Amino acid sequence: MMASLRTPRGLLTVLLLVLFAVLPLLTQAFDQRYLLSIGTRVVIWSIAAVSLNMILGYGGLVSFGHAAFFGIGGYAVGILSASGVASGWVQWPVAIAAAAVWAALIGALSLRTRGVYFLMITLAFAQLVYYVAAGLEVYGGDDGLNIGRSRFPGLINLADKASFYWLCLALLVATLWFCDRFACSRFGFVLRGARSNEQRMTALGFPVFQYRLVAMIISGAFGGLSGALLANEGAYVSPAMMSWVKSGDLIVMVVLGGMGTLLGPLYGAIAFFVLEESLKPLMDLAHKGWGEYWQIVFGPMLVLVALYAKGGIDSLLGRRHG
Amino acid sequence: MDTLLIQMLNGVQLGLLMFLLAAGLTLTFGIMDLVNLAHGSLYMMGAYLAWTFIGWTDSFVLGVLLALPATFVLGIVVEAVVVRRLYARDHLDQVLATFGLILFFNELVRAVWGPAGKSIAVPPFLSHTVEILPGVPYSAYRFALIVVGTLVAILLAWLVARTRMGMLIRAGASNRRMIAALGVNIELLFSLVFGLGAVFAGLAGMMAAPIGSVKIGMGDDILILAFVIIVIGGIGSIKGAFIAAMLVGQIDIFGRSYLPDLLKTFLSPATASSAAPAISQMLVYLVMAGVLVWRPTGLFGQRT
């Protein structure tokens, strides 16, 4: 622990951990409630980005439909809540299971294809879910659905912003721990091996398809969890949470932070929200009213990241050892 | 019977529009190996440029004729500034960069033209109806769309199959390095192909404008349909894109016009009319899934 403090990466990690852990106290002390809600969203999106990284980063499979897991997790909570099942003990496992089942279904179909085909098929399947949600008139259709927050009686009250934030943070840490175990396991090594040389792994006797399918299911399950959290954050679900732009945002976070690294998606999610929240006031400062158009600057920044920032934020922190 | 014919024509017209969009996309995929998410932005820019030029010239035809070269120039500029640097990159970098371009163009349009949608009126000389069969009237504008779309499709087929540029395009699609080694100016070829794709996308946007509306993000949804078309048809295949576009056009129109009635036979009318659009959207994706199970590289894609 002390040794890791000497590297920039170790230092940043410890600083982030401390900052994340005390954020609710800070926002309360400075009376900035708004910041806590941004912080909660950063944590939830980080979980989703970490889960996408499992297949995108470690598996090398460019999935452009990850927001569907957001949506399925969110709608599982929303539909159960609207049908009178308020207990989180039921809602959350159902959300995770539903997302995992969807991942198994689309994985079985889309993993038959490669490269660009895979990308477009995952995108198309995500659109399918989007249109299904938009067509669910009973559950709000295009307008979405206001829901009651999941109940964990006697344990935690999710309506309390700080408790909810800490719960999300704990789940993020658990997800990161799992991802670390995942990446270092034999399973993770097979997956990474298939990323660099699929033929060779096949020749070595590994059933690459099955490994990738399981990876997609795990990734989808965590995606479903983040969707359940997102639904609880706003007490609201809508098709917009799984629009294809959200899938794009998730890819941006993973690539911006550093693909195939443990903390990269976390850095990426933080950077994404920090950029969004700081570009607006900065552009307003340059010229009143410009802040609304922050994506005019953000878009070209993504182009520059794609062209010149190989390895993302994680690579700026120096080489990792081991 | 008459409505069936009209719906089928509407399907052809939608299919032709999507073919225009998909043709440029499948060429850039096939030849440059480029995933261009921003293709839908060119569709949108084409429509906005046409709206502006039509406002200036007060003539639909003149406006479109001015907007076409403008879209071409825009395509060339985008290619020279950003896209050219992406050819040698992996697909993920291309996705990221062109996703950035989408954000940029959507926001640019919002800043320049404002957040509200625009509308382009159907030109007066096409605002009547024509009788395609005795006693069956059909919108002259939609009919003109079918004619123009067919002409452009024929032009494209001729260009790819019969001209020197088309020969280079086909050669580039099968082996890019080889034609570069044979002394073909491949940078110029790539620029031209990208510009051509931009013009086709822009034209599709302009032609779709009078029957829909000109709005921000209008290209994004249709782009995903174009992706589906390319996947069904096989990446790099113009013929595949055409057949798949026709198929998707028919499925879409069928879903919209007949599915509600079909569903009403076993669902309540309110449920049926609200579920039908969603199910008709799904139909297209289900067909795609079916094709992929059968042939993972599309109907006319190269086997790997």
What total of structural domains would you count in chain B?
A: 1
Which residues, 6+ apart, have CB-to-CB distance to A272 below 8 Å?
Answer: A45, A249, A252, A253, A256
Instruction: Give the mean model confidence (pLDDT) for residues B33-43.
Output: 91
The vertex-A59 CA angle with A54 and A64, nearest 5°, equals 75
Instruction: Give the mean model confidence (pLDDT) for residues A192-202.
Output: 93
List, for residues A102-153, the tens digit of each pLDDT value. Answer: 999 999 988 988 888 898 889 888 988 998 888 887 888 888 889 988 888 8
CB-CB under 8 Å, B278 with A135:
yes
Distance from CA of A293 to the nearest CA of B (A): 6
List, for residues B45-54, the tens digit of each pLDDT value. Answer: 999 999 999 9
pLDDT of residue B112: 92
Statement: residue A322 has pLDDT above 60: no
Instruction: Give the mean model confidence (pLDDT) for residues B271-293.
Output: 78
**A215 and chain B: CB distance < 8 Å anywhere?**
no
Statement: residue B167 has pLDDT above 80: yes
Statement: residue B97 has pLDDT above 50: yes
List, for residues A43-97, the tens digit of each pLDDT value. Answer: 999 999 999 999 999 999 999 999 999 999 999 999 999 998 889 899 999 999 9
**A313 and chain B: CB distance < 8 Å anywhere?**
no
Residue A25 to residue B137: CA distance in whole angstroms: 70
- For residue B103, being part of any structural domain is answered with yes
For A123, which residue in chain B has the nearest alpha carbon?
B224
Burial class (CB within 10 angstroms; exposed 0-12, middle 13-18, buried 19+) of B268? exposed
- For residue B171, being part of any structural domain is answered with yes
Q: Where are the domains of chain A?
A: 32-241
For A136, which residue in chain B has the nearest alpha carbon?
B275
Q: How far is CA B2 from CA B14, B119, B136, B256, B262, in A?
A: 18, 29, 7, 17, 18
**Burial profile B130-167: b = 16 or more Cβ within 10 angstroms, e = fewer:** eeeeeeeebbbbbbbbbebbeebbeebeeebeeeeebe
Ramachandran quadrant class, B89 (left: phi over 0; alpha: psi -120 to 50; beta: rest): beta
- For residue B225, being part of any structural domain is answered with yes
By Cβ distance, the residue of B97, B274, B278 closest to A303 is B97
For A251, which residue in chain B has the nearest alpha carbon?
B96
- For residue B164, being part of any structural domain is answered with yes
By Cβ distance, the residue of A62, A117, A132 closest to B92 is A62
- For residue B304, being part of any structural domain is answered with no
Instruction: Give the mean model confidence (pLDDT) for residues B221-228.
Output: 87
Coil, strand or helix at A7: coil
Least confident of A199-213, B95-109, B182-196: B182-196
Instruction: Give the mean model confidence (pLDDT) for residues B180-185.
Output: 87
CB-CB under 8 Å, A112 with B224:
no
Domain coverage including residue B250: 2-116+138-294
**B227 and chain A: CB distance < 8 Å anywhere?**
yes
pLDDT of residue A190: 95
Neighbours of B258 (CB within 10 A): 15
Neighbours of A155 (CB within 10 A): 11
Statement: residue B268 has pLDDT above 80: no
